[in-house]
Structure 1
Amino acid sequence: MSNSEEPPHKKRNMEPSPPSSSSLLSSLPADVALNCLARVSREDRAALSLTSKSYRSLVASQELYKTRSLIGRTETHVYVCLRTPPPNPNLRWYILRRRNGSSDLFPIPSLASQPPEASAVVALDWGIYVIGGLINGKPTPDAWLLDCRTHTWRSLPSMEVARANAATGVVDGKIYVLGGCDDVKWGEVFDPKTQMWKTLPLIRKKGSADVDVHGSLVRDQKVYLFSGKNGTFYYSPRERKWGRGNRDQVRGNRRDWCMVDGLICCISSYGGVFWCEPDALDWREPEGIMCTKEVRGLGSLLMRLFYSRVVHFGEQLIHWWDQYKVNHVIPKKFGVSHELEYLLPGARMSTSGRNMLLFWDVVEGDRLEIWCAEISLERHQGGDVRGNIEWSSAVMTVDPFVDHYKVLHSVSVTL
């Protein structure tokens, strides 16, 4: 070997290493790089955002999510908010992840100042808005935003009125908040572009201040509010007017109303899942009754949902029940336990794309499991709707079991 010739081990070290994915992207024109980035998974985008500030900014940009929508690469992500049991109750947020046939709740940063109960939540674009709620038993006008692109929180301008257990809905890119207060400013609207709240026209319906919110949804660009005592109200932003719809034929025992694959669905306190056609909301003379039917094929889940304790009823209702127990004799038909969660048991229901999600809990010895099932709906001849269980599994395990966790919110976001 001549003195001018490099040793073999030095030759190997001098060979160029293959370029990384980040360097390849940086060498492309901005629009081409954006189009490439829009086609990779969320996990890969998250890993790439750690390499530099420029990529982190690109991953969180509005342009990226517009591109993903245009090329049909959007994904639905489900977020869940749990309240931990006493003596140190906290709120914790999770994202539901499905990998290799298994599902689990993966923790994300939570909001320390979030009210422990009675907040309203709504998804818009890439974020989840948390609005109002009860802090030390008092309503708050505060609002917050969870940026689902980066899993970071920020505070929003406060509402004009403090609210708890309000109804929410999105119409034309604006968030409408109805009820949850005794003030004449019964409704407000938030414009994310201007970051401003505005008061809606005064509702003219008698007894509106006493409306108890059991759920809300948007149909035909109207925000509907479901009440156990007063039936159904709606606000039409485009017409700037209030209206009244039908009420459920069974009052006070349905919740989590939502649109699932073109049908209106809800869950009862005994674990049954019900449905009706969207036009069933429209007022019909003379009774104004909305007829709902039970979804068939979910009998295997009925008792599991009935015995679940994941529903949180709020301190106001619990306080009212405690006072009622003091002043009244409770009939034996209510069962051995007089605790409210045992009198009104049940699960939680939300949506994921065109399907519904059901959450419930199971106690196995010293272990608590939170379960989730995804249900698709199928119409049958004769007017029946059947539910098909696409998958069902435990998504969280707490060991040892101390007390029941509460599923406060479940929200789907498309990114």
Structure 2
Amino acid sequence: MKLDTSPSSSPLLSLPDDVALNCLARVSRSDHGALSLATKSYGSLVASPDLYTTRSLMGLTETSVYVCMRAPPPGPNPRWYILCRRKTSSDLIPIPSLPSQAQEASSVVVVDWGIYVIGGLIKGKPTSDVYLLDCRTHKWRQVTSMRLPRANAAAGVVDGKIYVLGGLGLGLELDGYTSYGEVFDPKTETWDCLKPFPEELELHGGYIHDCFVRDQKVYAVCGKIDGTDTTFYYSPREGNWGSGNSRSSLGNARDWCMVGDLLYSISRDGTIYWCEPEELDWREPEGMVTKEVKGLDSLKKSLSCSRLIFFDHQNVHLWEQFRKVYNGTFRIPEVMDLLPGARLTNFGPNMLLFWSVLVGDRLQISCAEISLERQGQGDEVRGNIESTSVVLTVDPFDYGYKVLYSASVLV
């Protein structure tokens, strides 16, 4: 039986706009896509920013999860998806993508209802471009560019402003310490330079591979060419820079994220670790003490395999050339050890993981939701796999598919 969606059969369309919006606001956002296809009028109401405002006032906003993937041509590269969650399965549904987005090394942050894509590499060169995805309407627009081109920068949101640290490459280029950070105000769409990085603090030359916000400070995790990692931070409220701990025993833990009041990361062998965030500010000899999240053994093998397919030939070649330059001076890790094989995203009090694994001649993108519980005297965290499903299956031509970013947005 075909549903009659003509205006005469749709009582909702005969109501005043504010009443119609009030009704639509009560419908789950996962059903908005189907409603938008019913009629042009429904599509207009669903895409209206007023619907977001109405849902916010009624306390009916939901957490939506967005995923960005690199994919082989043709078509936009990277490509964006929204996670459609069901009782027994989940799927990645494509949304409009941005043809001009950098293919690698962008920084991604969420402010209110929008996702900002900042900088990155275009044809191997850093860009200062910044784009905003309006998650209410799934429309893109370009905003004011950064003062400097940056790639693999740390970025975080404090008090509604976006702080971007580093991303200038190995060592300090351009104006060095005075160029190391800048801040963006979404209300005025303007960039300002941060207080110069103090020379008395050691800025460890290397690559920033992770960042997060803790205690209103933006932290950057920086990999040194000798294989160890260090942290530094910027505190917007105090207007100060600081340096944190150094660590060398985490087995190349990557994709750090805060869930609740604890800090989580994943290693190349598929182990998920946790630690007290206060340990970031401890200095030697205390060091950082990380512990394994218990109960996730069934995911380890799949997660460890994922890292094998996360690199294109160009990235491998560039890193191998870098390794040759420093050969014999430091222990330079292999490219597979540098980047994560999974993406961690906070999903309310839980964690979402996205990872990809070759199964036969197909590439499967999987998603797992994990609830986390601190047990005993607080010295153990146990993870419980609430759900897991394959959300996308693709042809792995030239290993071109890669999960780049994931983000949770309240819409």
Same fold (TM over 0.5): yes
CA shift at 1:398, angstroms?
Answer: 1.5
Q: Which residue of 2 aligns with 1:147?
A: 134
Q: Which residue of 1 aligns with 2:197?
A: 203
Q: Which residue of 2 aligns with 1:218?
A: 213
TM-score scaled by length of structure 2: 0.84
Deviations 1:317-358 (A, max 9, x none): 7413245369869xxxx9xxx984489773222222221111
- How far apart in 2 are the matches of 1:197 and 1:127? 18
CA shift at 1:155, angstroms?
Answer: 0.7
- Larger Cα-atom Rg: 1
Matches within 5 A, 1:3-402: 20-26=11-17, 30=18, 33-46=20-33, 51=39, 56=44, 59-61=47-49, 64-85=51-72, 90-181=77-168, 182-183=173-174, 184-205=178-199, 206-208=201-203, 210-229=205-224, 231-250=230-249, 253-281=252-280, 283-287=281-285, 289-309=287-307, 311-312=310-311, 318-324=317-323, 340-341=335-336, 346-382=341-377, 383-399=379-395
Q: Which residue of 2 aligns with 1:5?
A: none
CA shift at 1:99, angstroms?
Answer: 2.5
Distance 1:286 1:356, change over 3 A: same
CA shift at 1:248, angstroms?
Answer: 3.3
Q: Which amino acid aligns with 1:381?
A: G
CA shift at 1:199, angstroms?
Answer: 0.6
CA shift at 1:251, angstroms?
Answer: 6.0
Gaps of 5+ in 1: 1-15
CA shift at 1:291, angstroms?
Answer: 1.3
Q: Is the 8 A contact 1:254 1:266 kept in 2?
A: yes
- How far apart in 2 are the matches of 1:201 and 1:314? 38
Distance 1:295 1:305, change over 3 A: same
CA shift at 1:178, angstroms?
Answer: 0.6
CA shift at 1:249, angstroms?
Answer: 4.6
| 3-state SS of paired residue (1:287) | coil
Measured on the aligned residues, the alpha-carbon RMSD in Å equals 3.1
- How far apart in 2 are the matches of 1:35 and 1:143? 34
- How far apart in 2 are the matches of 1:55 and 1:364? 38
Q: Is the 8 A contact 2:134 2:140 kept in 1?
A: yes
CA shift at 1:207, angstroms?
Answer: 4.9
Q: Which amino acid aligns with 2:387?
A: W
Question: Identity rate of aligned residues, in percent?
Answer: 57
- How far apart in 2 are the matches of 1:228 and 1:326? 17
Between the two proteins, the alignment pairs up a number of residues equal to 387
| 3-state SS of paired residue (1:395) | strand
Gaps of 5+ in 2: 1-6
CA shift at 1:361, angstroms?
Answer: 1.9
- How far apart in 1 are the matches of 2:85 and 2:334? 35
- How far apart in 1 are the matches of 2:317 and 2:240? 34
More displaced stretch, 359-368 vs 158-167? 359-368
Q: Which amino acid aligns with 2:136?
A: R
Q: Is the 8 A contact 1:367 1:401 kept in 2?
A: no
Q: Which amino acid aligns with 2:365?
A: I
